[in-house]
Each structure stands twice: as C-alpha cells, then as structure tokens.
Structure 1
C-alpha cells in the first residue's frame, strides 16, 4: 500500500509529495480549491492550506479533509507529473 512519506508546501496551492515507492510530484490544488465545496473551501486560505499534515500516509487538514496517497499518485501520473528517484 502506497503512503506519502513527506509533504512540503511550495506555495499557497501546491504541495510536493514524496511517496513510499520513491516517486514524487508537485500536486497543484488549484483545481480542487476551485470546486469551492464545504470541505475544500478552507484550503483557499494560504495559512490553513499550509497547515496540512500526514496521517497514516494520507494528506490531511485539520477540518477532516483528507486525500489518499493512491489517488494523489494516480492523479500525478495521469498529468505526467510523477517522477521516480534513482533510488527507487
């Protein structure tokens, strides 16, 4: 089961994700934030967005919103944004 090892906020809408299989990619959340649903609306605030954390290998925020490692990795792969380190 794939997990996120590290999440680094790059700016107010993008997070660099490093996965347990050695892959990595920069996930741009603008499309997600633009949905403007109750759960993602707080992510439009840069301070709230930057307070993401990892829980059981998933990307989470304190309002209970979470994104699974598998879905994020798949989205990055579909967008051609997934890279593999030489160590993987």
Structure 2
C-alpha cells in the first residue's frame, strides 16, 4: 500500500508529495477547489491551506478533509506529473 511520506508546500495551492515507493510529484489542488464542497472551501484560505499534515500516510487538513495517498498518486500519474525512481 502506497503512503505519503513527506509533503512540502510549494506555492499557491501546490504541495510536493513524496511517496513510500520513492516517487514524488507536485500536486496542484486548483481542480479540486473548483468543486467548492463544504470541506474544500476552507482550502481557499491561504493560511488554512498551509495547515496540511500527514496522518497514516494520507494528506489531511484540520477540518476532516483527507486525500488517500493512492488517489493523489493516481492523479499525479494520470497528469504525467509523477516522477518515479530509476530502476
């Protein structure tokens, strides 16, 4: 099972994610914020966005919003933004 091992703020609504298999990528949350759900609206506040943390390998915020490592991994991979370690 893939896990997030490190999350580093980049700029705007972008976070660089490092995964347990050694891969990494910069996740842009712009597409997710467009949905404007009750949980994602809080991320529009820059100070709140910066309060992300990793819990049990998932990316989380204090309001209960969380993204599994697998879902973020797949999004990055589909967008061609996932850098995998050399074999």
Normalized against structure 2, the TM-score is what?
0.96
Q: Runs of 4+ in structure 1 displaced over 3 angstroms?
A: none
Cross-structure match for 1:18: 18
What is the CA-CA distance between 1:37 and the residue it aligns to? 0.7
Alignment partners' CA distance in 1, 2:36 and 2:9: 20
Deviations 1:44-76 (A, max 9, x none): 111000110000000000000000000000010
TM-score when normalising by structure 1: 0.95
Unpaired runs of 5+ in structure 1? none
Following superposition, the deviation at residue 11 of structure 1 comes to 1.4
Deviation at 1:12, TM superposition (A): 2.6
Unaligned runs of 5+ in 2: none
